[in-house]
Structure 1
Amino acid sequence: MNFHLDEDIQALKSTVKDFIYNTVDPRAQEMEENDYIPEEIMQMSKEMGLFGLSIPAEYGGLGIGMVGKAAIYEEIGKTLNGYTTLIGAHTGIGSVGIVEMGNEEQKQKYLPKLATGEYIGAFALTEPSAGSNASNIKTTAVRKGDKYIINGSKHYITNGNIADVFTVMAVTDPNKGAKGITSFIVDRDSPGFFVGNIEKKMGLHGSQSVELFFEDCEVPVENVLGVEGEGYVNALKILANGRAGLAARNLGSCVKLMELSLDYAMEREQFGKPIFEQQIIQHYLAEMDLDTETLRSMTYRVAWMVDQGMKVIKEAAGVKLLGSEVYSRVADKALQIHGGIGYMSEYPIERFYRDARITRIYEGTSEIQKNIIAAQLKKNYKSLSKIGG
């Protein structure tokens, strides 16, 4: 496995690192309190190419592989997770479906504008009755001539309030279960498509989630993404592809928490000496470092596997699970090291602590990741049982 970054990606990583440290992070608390990413930060992010990370160069994107994206996501993960999520949802589940499954006409129409950030992408699968059980969606799409008529609703859709292009899953044949689901590209201005209210969330401030409503929404036949009836498979592929990226963002947050905690432990004095000299604090930091470096190793390994075109169903679930669990543990220890000041909302520890909690839920809960891993173990059981015999 080669995790070496070429000069162009190293240069981009350095530029992003400076941008996060000098421009985004100093305004993190402001963005947290206002629940809004300022337009000037959005514009600078677009000019840097951050909205085109996943899009091939021939369509105006940066065209970098998953290892390179992981390196960039790690830097972005060191700041306000709401900003991180806005970028990650666009470059991941919001656009990767068109990149991987779109036909040439769809790619030419959408990818150049997604690459520059002129269009923002979103992914619409979750419904009130379909969360972890994604195959239980109720939104329907019925073909009428050269259009599909979509009816139903989605909720908790990241970027939904600012998105121009939505990858939407709907049932085209209710008699076929998961094989009766189709994915569509839906434009924001499609007749019968409405964006609902912004949800109030515990964390991820700056990244808005909304409800979507489809009331006889008209979508042209040419906006079917992939093959009719393969929407559920498409959704699983899109989610799996993004999990290494999500783990990399979690990794960046863990690195930042480690830096903040080590600085604080060295500076904060109790009983006449820095609290770093207390063995329990040393143990906390050692455990946080071990967790973080374990996550780093698995994140880049899975990213490398994605770049090689290898099957990563189990590994993607594993790194998503590990990333969210490690982030939660590291955030908890960071707050304990900081004590009362870590609990105060004007300091970043409290923000990271809240933001860490959603990572065990969105884009597939920790429990669902365990189910996926177990299903893959069962599938490979016969070959595993032959080892040594």
Structure 2
Amino acid sequence: MSTETENKEMLRGGQFLVKQINCEDVFTPEDFTEEHKMMKESVKEFVDREIWPKKEEFEKKNYQLTEDLMKKAGELGFLGISVPEEYDGMGMGFVSTMLVCDYISGATGSMATAFGAHTGIGTMPILLYGNEEQKKKYIPKLATGEWFGAYCLTEPGAGSDANSGKTKAELSEDKKHYIINGQKMWISNAGFASLFIVFARIENDKNITGFILENDPDNGITFGEEEKKLGIHSSSTRQVFFNDTKIPVENMLSERGNGFKIAMNALNVGRIKLAAASLDAQRRVTDLAVKYANDRVQFKTPIAQFGAIKSKLAEMATSAYVGEAANYRAAKNIQDRIDIRMSEGNSFAEAELKSFEEYAIECSILKVACSEDIQNCSDEGIQVYGGMGFSADTPMESAWRDARIARIYEGTNEINRMLAVGMLVKKAMKGHVDLLGPAMKVADELTGIPSMDKPDYSVLLSEEKEMIAKLKKVFLMVAGSAVQKFGPQLEEHQQLLLAAADILIEVYMAESGILRAEKNAKRFGEDTQKEQIAMAKLYLYHAVDIINTKAKEAIVSFAEGDEQRMMLMGLKRFTKYQNQPNIVALRNTIAEKLTSENKYCF
């Protein structure tokens, strides 16, 4: 465990909402070690050499290309970053895992999907839930790319409700095998997978059970045709059918009935890695848009000099910068928690599982925010290109199509929004996060007399940090009142949960951007960070707007009369700037840096 980890208070998942966070206590991309930087450069070099030049080929449903490049990634060790060395992996920390996922995923969604499905849900269930014999038999093959993995959970009638699957498993008469019958759909990597993680129900069990199944065409395993999809054209996606398929009893994963737990916990790590997989895609789209805007001349002027284009470029870069800040902040929290648990004697699997579970709220927040940011970024990228952006001859069109699946993967964004709030409320009820105390303080503040003192905002980002503190009060005000009013029935009020989730998401993302900019300004000098400070301020301005709208929507949906008036007055107070930022000036500062460097340069 690092000295840095020992010297700072470790926040529990969700506690960011009720704690004041010091910038020195967050990890940012500028904190990457030499090992991190070397890993990042080796992945970028691989992508720029092997994947990016073949971008057009990925649109032609070349599944063999994806498989071949996955093999090369395996040979370079990229498929086994987080796998312990004893199973032929590289045994590196979670920040390194995120880095590889981030930079290997940006060139094309097809490779991002194959990589994510294999290293995440195709490998992690065995690594985290398998017994020693299963790990020794399968993990080395998966970590090196000798074999590829796929994950068979979704069924025609069981999507978000994963535990409702109808695939059956029956014990054979000689009790040596489970006989599997059923159908799975939307299975990534199905066309070239050597191994499947299959979920099925034994008899009338309440919960499904996980199994490890080797791919053998003589064992009743058949496949549907490759799916015709909006994007990720070279990602193999097929239905998988099991007809009296035999699985040795020793290939049950974990215990009988533990499949739903395996499925849900595998999604926690999948969510934050999907968020990371959206980052380099944003950087590359922004790079392309900046270069095109500098080269494209209209009315004798490069369009990069027009205010309308500056606005787009600045917003695209801002979402990438803040996304980086939030992802690596959370990744280091998870890594620190894993290190602590390992030092306390937890097994690797136990330390990983408990740490991802601890930060499940942040994982859902990041999945939603970054999947929507890459969609918006690629959409604006098309707009910067104009008519050319709509053409399949330019890379923006495929980037936009590939981005669309990210809002559905790993639980839809709607499911993840409701999960984030639901998990936070459950943590509060278990005493893991004290929401009640701070919520009551906010309630008292609403009825008190506001201070007339004018705060001193001479310190860098001090007003922005105070605004973050006030935005946290908005969530506590809305969620506290909603829990008080609806209690356990809160989960039935989905539109209220969605509004509360958007407040939660914007608080975490905006705070991450502010803390990154503040930390870097302190160590590198404010003058060197003016564009980064501008991005942090710009993101916060939008966050305030979104939170104002969503909180109002929530308040009027359940509060009436004096209670409603008091909460709306509180909302106005908590979302009020003393000094309104000049948004046009902020955008221009960011855009001018981008166009002068001719790339995303942060």
Deviations along 1:282-325, one digit per CA (max 9) or x if unpaired, are 11111112211121122112222332233122111111111111
Deviation at 1:202, TM superposition (A): 1.2
Which residue identity is paired with 2:419? I
Are the aligned partners of 1:288 and 1:330 in contact in 2 as well (CA < 8 Å)?
yes
Q: Is residue 330 from structure 1 mapped to residue 387 from structure 2 by the alignment?
A: no
Query: Shift in Å at residue 92 of structure 1?
Result: 0.9
Greater fraction strand: 1
Q: Say whether residues 1:123 and 2:151 are aligned partners.
A: yes
Code of the residue aligned with 1:95 in structure 2: it is T
Residue identity matched to 2:435: L
For the residue of structure 2 that corresponds to 1:106, the secondary structure is helix
Counterpart secondary structure, 2:410: coil
Tell me the residue number matched to 1:344: 391
Larger CA deviation: 60-69 vs 355-364? 60-69
Q: How does 1:254-273 map to 2 (within 5 A)?
A: 254-273=282-301
Using the size of structure 2 for normalisation, the TM-score is 0.62
Structure 2 gaps of 5+ residues are 1-25, 339-354, 442-602
Deviating runs (4+, > 6 A) in structure 1?
none
Partner of 1:174: 204
Is 1:230 the equivalent of 2:230?
no
State whether residues 251 and 295 of structure 1, in contact with CA within 8 Å, keep that contact through their aligned partners in structure 2. Answer: yes
Distance 1:275 1:297 in 2: 29
Match of 1:318 in 2: 365
Flag the structure with higher helix content: 2
Q: Tell whether 2:113 aligns with 1:85.
A: yes
Scaled by the length of structure 1, the TM-score of the pair is 0.95
- How far apart in 2 are the matches of 1:293 and 1:32? 28
Query: 1:53–1:203: structure 2 CA closer, same or farther, 3 Å change rule?
Result: same
Residues 1:51 and 1:335: Cα distance change in structure 2 (over 3 Å): same
1:149 aligns with 2:209: no
Count of aligned pairs between the two proteins: 386
Aligned to 1:362: 409
1:19 match: 46
Number of the residue aligned with 1:384 = 435
Secondary structure at 1:205 match in 2: coil
Q: How much is the aligned-residue C-alpha RMSD, in angstroms?
A: 1.7
Shift in Å, 1:174: 2.7
Instruction: Indicate how the Cα distance of structure 1 residues 332 and 11 shifts in structure 2: closer, same or farther if over 3 A, else same.
Output: same
Matches for 1:234-249 after TM superposition, within 5 Å: 234-249=262-277
Q: Contact 1:128–1:154 (CA<8 Å) still a contact in 2? A: yes
Cα distance in 1 for partners of 2:196, 2:425 equals: 35
Q: Cα gap change, 1:42/1:139 in structure 2, threshold over 3 Å: closer, same or farther?
A: same
Shift of 1:381: 4.6
Mapped to 1, the partners of 2:146 and 2:398 lie a distance apart of: 30
Structure 1 residue 374, shift from structure 2 partner: 2.2
Q: Which residue number in structure 2 is paired with residue 161 of structure 1?
A: 191
Distance 1:224 1:101 in 2: 10
Determine what percentage of the aligned residue pairs are the same residue.
38
Does the 8 Å CA contact 2:61/2:235 hold for their aligned counterparts? no
For 1:86 and 1:336, locate their aligned partners in 2 and report how far apart those are by CA, in whole Å: 29
SS at the partner of 1:217? strand
Distance 1:23 1:271, change over 3 A: same
Q: CA deviation at 1:204?
A: 0.4
Q: Conserved in 2, the CA contact under 8 Å of 1:54 and 1:64?
A: yes
**Pair 1:288-2:316 in alignment:** yes
Distance 2:240 2:63 in 1: 20
CA contact (8 A) 1:50 1:87 kept: no
Can you list the C-alpha shifts for 1:141-160, whole angstroms capped at 9, x where unaligned? 12231221111110010001
- Within a 5 Å distance, the mapping from 1:184-203 to structure 2 comes to 184-189=211-216, 191-203=219-231
CA distance in 2, matches of 1:80, 1:129: 30
The change in CA–CA distance for 1:193 and 1:341 in structure 2 (over 3 A counts) is same
